[in-house]
Amino acid sequence: MSELKYDVAIVGAGIIGCALATALGKQGRKILVLERNLSEPDRIVGELLQPGGVQALEKLGLRGGINSLRCEWYDADAE
């Protein structure tokens, strides 16, 4: 049986886990990403990114993505 070797194991394939895996992979590291559930959630779970988060993803070459949309209407102060 062959042995698998990784430089980094990341638990969680959310926005941070995937961004970290991408950044480390671009450095030439072997990455293992573990996610317990790959089914699509039936609720909003933090998909709205602030401008700084979008800029960070752009630097990693991850602009856009699956079903991503630009949000022009979000207003945290709205009642």
| In the chain, domain spans | 7-37+46-79
pLDDT digits (tens, 9 = 90+) for 19-71: 899 999 999 999 999 999 888 767 666 667 777 877 887 888 776 665 666 77
Angle between helices 15-26 and 51-59 (to 10 degrees): 30
The predicted pLDDT at position 29 comes to: 97
Q: For residues 36 and 73, what is the distance between their CA atoms, to the nearest angstrom? A: 33
For Cα atoms 44, 62, 19, give the angle at the middle one, nearest 5 degrees: 70
Q: For residues 73 and 60, what is the distance between their CA atoms, to the nearest angstrom? A: 26
